[in-house]
Structure 1
Amino acid sequence: MNRPEFSSLPLKPALIENIASLGYTHLTPIQAESLPHILEGKDVIAQAKTGSGKTAAFGIGLISRLDVGHFKVQALVLCPTRELADQVSKEIRQLARFIPNIKVLSLCGGVPFAPQRDSLLHGAHVIVGTPGRVQEHLQKHSLRLDDLHVLVLDEADRMLDMGFAELITDVISYAPSHRQTLLFSATYPDAIRNLSQSYQFKPVSVSIDTRHHGGDLLQHFHRVDSSKRVHAVGYLLAYHRPESTVVFCNTKRECQDVAGSLANCGFSVQALHGDLEQKDRDQVLVRFANKSCSVLVATDVAARGLDIKELQAVINYELPWDPEVYVHRIGRSGRAGKKGLALSLCADAELDRVKAIEDYLGIAADWDDIAPFKLSYEPRFHPPMITLWIDAGRKQKVRPGDILGALTATAGIAAGEVGKIDVFDKHAYVAVSRQQADKALACLRDGKIKGRRYNVHQSRWD
């Protein structure tokens, strides 16, 4: 089927040109179904999984309605987690980079309130944030929504799952009733229908099939004894050798125990759960996203908003009770035409969960055997990258290009040997190929970034 091009939409030529420069020419299914309605100013309720192109859909829509000369908040995007809010902010900035003087501001918890308040004093066009922090700014009058044209609820089902219903209701009470409301959700339970009925006016309903039908994602189930689950995970990692894997656990305790056992076996692994402080969570996600850590063991709540491109495998250490949660987990792998693996462990007492998944997806489970695997220490499959930590960030006016320039121009490291660069307020991380790590570390320690020397060291996990 031929997919429509962005040039077929009533968009400004500069926006179409910018979209093309980002590598987008044809609309994804969710964009093709929702964008025409969004551009007409209609309320939309859209069901689509993470990675389907939904951010660009509402991002292009809200950018098209901005009056940049009017320096007031005209669009608000609410997200369940800080990580998702940061990703959405980044994508909207890229989509809007052809517009001079546009300001997109992220308002999330886990970081100091005062700098956000001070930034709001100077105005903003688009706010992307988590419900709790946005509510705090509204209650303290540092944020006003009098001029709001577009409200977006992104991953609305996850926000409701996380207990944000009252926060969302309070935030919306500050917004004008005459506005466009866009609601995006991976699933469509009754709570989402109720949310739509409460805050949308004659919404257009758009649903893109969120279920996997083979081709891009291979699903395999493995019967195991409950006491042998960690051994089974080790076997699957050793057998398939995925470059990036998320192992889902149902509890924080399991998450920590599994990560510790795998680390003791020599796997490059990190745990992601709700007890982590924000700075530790940032470091874990940075290392996993930049390919200097191969395995992430996570709970569902901690992984919400996690959007890792090219994730090769998902392992269910234990199947969830809800088949929708299973779909949401495995949907993180096998995106954009890439092959993905969904590997699930199941004890005999949990076979009813497999039956529920079969009924929900309309498939028959594909069962595979697992060979015995001994949990003994040996270095296994070193990740391709090493992370370097730099004691400078946005506050010091350091940009990714400054770090890349120091490594390529001064050290002579090829740009292809430098991976993802993440710049936070007071520090930054850069991923460098394992072969060039020592050279890069020496260069950044002995040289200068933007004319200044900063403390640099290798991430303590590498």
Structure 2
Amino acid sequence: MTESFKTLPLPPSMIETLDNLGYHSMTEIQSKSLPFVLQGRDVVAKAKTGSGKTAAFALGMLERIQASSFAVQGLVLCPTRELCTQVATEIRKLARYKGNIKVLLLCGGQSIGPQIGSLEHGAHIVVGTPGRIQDHLRKQTLTLSKVATVVLDEADRMLDMGFSDAVQQIVNQTPSTRQTLLFSATYPSGIEKLTKSIMKDPEVISVEAVHSESNIEQLFVQASRNKKDDLLLKLFQHYQPASTVVFCNTKQQCKEVCRMIKEHGGSADALHGDLEQRDRDKVLVRFSQSSCSVLVATDVAARGIDIADLAMVVNYDVPRDPEIYIHRVGRTGRAGKSGLALSIYSESETYKVELIEDYRKQPTVYLDPDTLNGDKPLPLPEWVSIEVAGGRKDKIRPGDLLGALTANQLLTGKAVGNITIFDRVSYVAVAEADAKLALKQLTAGKVKGRKVLARIAK
């Protein structure tokens, strides 16, 4: 039985906003944690990505914000910039009911100067990575003395990345009267130690992953090391997935697999720790806009990325830890949809497959590579992403780009897909057949009354 948000003590304007955003009933993490969050209690919640945890902490945080005061009243710490961006976007949507709530993103990989300028104008909520938050505290460009709510999102990953001391130091600079909310996919001893040092009598909540394995077909296929590339291509040809994440255990392997797919005429981008932030953003946008078919990623790079309707996951390298395997596989088959997860292993990696079988408590299903049909071409995307030089700071909104593309009615709204706006750059997906015309529309016409530079994002 799913509960409505109307059962909570929330203002009618917030209920209306939730309804408009499609939040009609609460997820398990929301129904279990929100009553305590709204009471102002400290909460420790064990919940995985995709469980609806952002709304679980954001609704309580927003209710405590005094819009008339431009002091930082809410602080959300996340391990990666990708997750920060995702969380900030969600909070901005939920904050519509209140109006004039400023949410600021403070992450590494970007120049600190513009961030300092934004802080000078004030912000109600800051979402950031521990390292960059520490930079601002050292420079005294950020003050946390008015913070009412602190959220640690994916706390286990922050500890894995060595941020334990940084998190402790940051939280120590907030008032002792604050509310502290901690969300973590796993609950290692480091998390227990952290909760004892920064939280007051927290309510502890645990929910299972929202993606049930019953929706995911999981197959294991054996190949010698020098045949893995051939097998991977054959899997693409046979299953024809619209979108696939291929997991590798190392950055170098990521680069090599991505290069191999491209050399064989496929559409692929690599996501790993060596990329500059702007390039990481572009890779993720292209994949989320369906203008790239395959994302080849390491676990750390892919943490916090939530791609809807992911058709297939491939473990090019089987992970050593069964829990990482479950986390990878759980990215497909979400929200009741069916998913496919394929794992390529060599004979020497049989022990990893057995560990996963013991962990899942289900028999392993093996795939015979001889049954695969490798006669079809590699699947290619039906969309193209166009990069526009202008974004949120230039007051560009999705409607402005849609209007510029359809102004003279040569293009219809059906030819325009997902639109993503960053601070200084925007990306718009257009149907592959209309890409040249769309690019001409943007460069020859005007956006927000002025000329813009645009190019195909590659």
Q: TM-score, length-normalised on structure 1?
A: 0.95
Whether contact under 8 Å (2:289, 2:383) holds in the other structure is: yes
Which range is displaced more, 7-16 or 382-391?
A: 382-391
> Aligned pair 1:79/2:88, yes or no?
no
Give how far 1:70 is off: 2.3
Give how far 1:32 is off: 0.9
In the TM superposition, what are the counterparts of 1:322-333 in structure 2 within 5 Å? 322-333=321-332
Whether contact under 8 Å (1:49, 1:331) holds in the other structure is: no
Partner of 1:95: 94
Whether contact under 8 Å (2:396, 2:448) holds in the other structure is: yes
Whether contact under 8 Å (2:17, 2:94) holds in the other structure is: yes
Find runs of 4+ consecutive structure 1 residues off by over 3 angstroms: 211-214, 372-376
Partner of 1:345: 344
Whether contact under 8 Å (1:211, 1:361) holds in the other structure is: no
Partner of 1:217: 216
Partner of 1:309: 308
Query: Kindly tell me: are residues 114 and 216 of structure 1, through their superposed partners in 2, closer, same or farther at Cα, counting changes over 3 Å?
Result: same
Whether contact under 8 Å (1:235, 1:373) holds in the other structure is: yes
Secondary structure at the counterpart of residue 421 of structure 1: strand
> Aligned pair 1:367/2:344, yes or no?
no
> Aligned pair 1:439/2:437, yes or no?
yes
Give how far 1:373 is off: 7.8
Alpha-carbon distance between aligned partners in 2 of 1:137 and 1:197, rounded to the nearest angstrom: 26
Secondary structure at the counterpart of residue 320 of structure 1: coil
Which range is displaced more, 188-197 or 101-110?
A: 188-197
Whether contact under 8 Å (2:241, 2:379) holds in the other structure is: no
Whether contact under 8 Å (1:411, 1:439) holds in the other structure is: no
Alpha-carbon distance between aligned partners in 2 of 1:119 and 1:90, rounded to the nearest angstrom: 17
Partner of 2:446: 448
> Aligned pair 1:18/2:49, yes or no?
no
Partner of 1:147: 146
Give how far 1:299 is off: 0.7
Whether contact under 8 Å (1:34, 1:44) holds in the other structure is: yes
Alpha-carbon distance between aligned partners in 1 of 2:305 and 2:338, rounded to the nearest angstrom: 19
Q: Which amino acid aligns with 2:123?
A: A
Alpha-carbon distance between aligned partners in 1 of 2:239 and 2:362, rounded to the nearest angstrom: 23
Whether contact under 8 Å (1:72, 1:123) holds in the other structure is: yes
Whether contact under 8 Å (1:411, 1:443) holds in the other structure is: no
Partner of 1:266: 265
Provide the alpha-carbon RMSD of the alignment: 1.8
Query: Kindly tell me: are residues 424 and 46 of structure 1, through their superposed partners in 2, closer, same or farther at Cα, counting changes over 3 Å?
Result: same
Secondary structure at the counterpart of residue 76 of structure 2: strand
Partner of 2:203: 204
Partner of 2:173: 174
Which range is displaced more, 89-98 or 274-283?
A: 274-283
The one of 420, 423, 445 equivalent to 2:421 is: 423
Q: Which amino acid aligns with 2:86?
A: Q
Whether contact under 8 Å (2:168, 2:198) holds in the other structure is: no
Alpha-carbon distance between aligned partners in 1 of 2:359 and 2:82, rounded to the nearest angstrom: 29
Partner of 1:354: 353
Query: Kindly tell me: are residues 137 and 199 of structure 1, through their superposed partners in 2, closer, same or farther at Cα, counting changes over 3 Å?
Result: same
Alpha-carbon distance between aligned partners in 2 of 1:304 and 1:88, rounded to the nearest angstrom: 13
Whether contact under 8 Å (2:237, 2:377) holds in the other structure is: no
Partner of 1:393: 391
Query: Kindly tell me: are residues 59 and 384 of structure 1, through their superposed partners in 2, closer, same or farther at Cα, counting changes over 3 Å?
Result: same
Which range is displaced more, 212-221 or 71-80?
A: 212-221
Whether contact under 8 Å (2:213, 2:330) holds in the other structure is: no
Identity %, equivalent residues: 50
Query: Kindly tell me: are residues 103 and 418 of structure 1, through their superposed partners in 2, closer, same or farther at Cα, counting changes over 3 Å?
Result: same
Secondary structure at the counterpart of residue 145 of structure 2: coil
Alpha-carbon distance between aligned partners in 1 of 2:210 and 2:55, rounded to the nearest angstrom: 21
Whether contact under 8 Å (2:238, 2:374) holds in the other structure is: no
Alpha-carbon distance between aligned partners in 1 of 2:357 and 2:198, rounded to the nearest angstrom: 35
Structure 2 unaligned blocks of 5 or more: none
Partner of 1:52: 51
Whether contact under 8 Å (2:51, 2:210) holds in the other structure is: no
Structure 1 unaligned blocks of 5 or more: none
Which range is displaced more, 429-438 or 124-133?
A: 429-438
> Aligned pair 1:410/2:408, yes or no?
yes
